[in-house]
Amino acid sequence: MAAYRALLVEAFTAEPLQGNGAGVVLLEEPAEAPWMQAVAASLRQSETAFLWCDPSDSWRLRWFTPSCEVPLCGHATLAATLGLHHWGLMEAGAELPLATRSGGLPVAVSTGQPPLVSLTLPSGELMPEPEAPPQLTALLGDTPLAYWSSALGYRVALMADGFPLADLAMDCGALQGQDRQGLVVMQAAAATTPSLAGEPCDYQLRFFAPGLGIDEDPVTGSAHALVAPWWMEHLQRSTIRGWQPSWRRGGMLSEAVTPGFVRLSGTGHLLWDGQIHAPGCGHDGEGWAVCSSS
């Protein structure tokens, strides 16, 4: 029976049993999408990353939730990067481009302990909407200060400082329209928000995506990459720290790089390392992006 190296990383945290869990599977050939989808459904993480090194020694990466493929995932990219480093396939201190459906994503691992992973993600653009849908306001129990759509497909709601974000009990089944595909609820950091690497955080958010098969994603790199530029402009800073007070908490540092891109940095905890035994992956080069510069 075919066996593939696999591991599970808890991303954007140095604490065991916190952060956002992601499976990582190392392939020897480009697998078919239905097989990868079935593996992701069995692993039951919010996302599972699949890595394949093509004949030109370029690494390609795809991400699957338990129910669908997604075009971008920050925490599973961090997990994939730590996986390559753990397997001896990526040297510390060197930058490596990963080819994805969102373009070439540069990643790097530091030489420290625990190693710090940096990844450059597209940030998209927040597009102001006149107001939040009435049904969303009812679910939140308060009116957002601002509400945006985005090219990534996520909607973003900014709440007042006193809004009880950490205690929000979102009825994800009642989310409607585009909010179901990805809803970021954010606010400025509170006095009770934990620090990150000894420094205070600047903002906090939670992320809900029942339309992607994830009621709540614990620590979401793509969501932070989307909203970090707004907080940088709002706070007049090029480096900020974001926190996610979910049931599995964690956070990350965001830095401005080139227009339209944000560098996220965070740590991860290796929870398990082993093999999966799942025959029938097939051989399908379709859908595996060619690496391009971001």
Catalytic residue numbers read: 47
- CA gap 37, 106 in Å, rounded: 25
- CA gap 103, 119 in Å, rounded: 13
Question: What are the distances in angstroms from CA 7 to CA 57, 90, 118, 161, 234?
Answer: 22, 16, 19, 39, 38
Axis-axis angle for helices 74-86, 221-235 (nearest 10): 110
Bridge partner residues of 263 (DSSP): 120, 255
Closest CA to 185 of 201, 199, 169: 169
Give the three-state DSSP class for 138: helix
Backbone angles phi, psi at 233, to 5 degrees: -70, -40
- CA gap 132, 21 in Å, rounded: 31
Taking the CA of residue 220 as centre, how many other CA atoms within 13 Å lie in the half-sphere pointing to its CB?
30
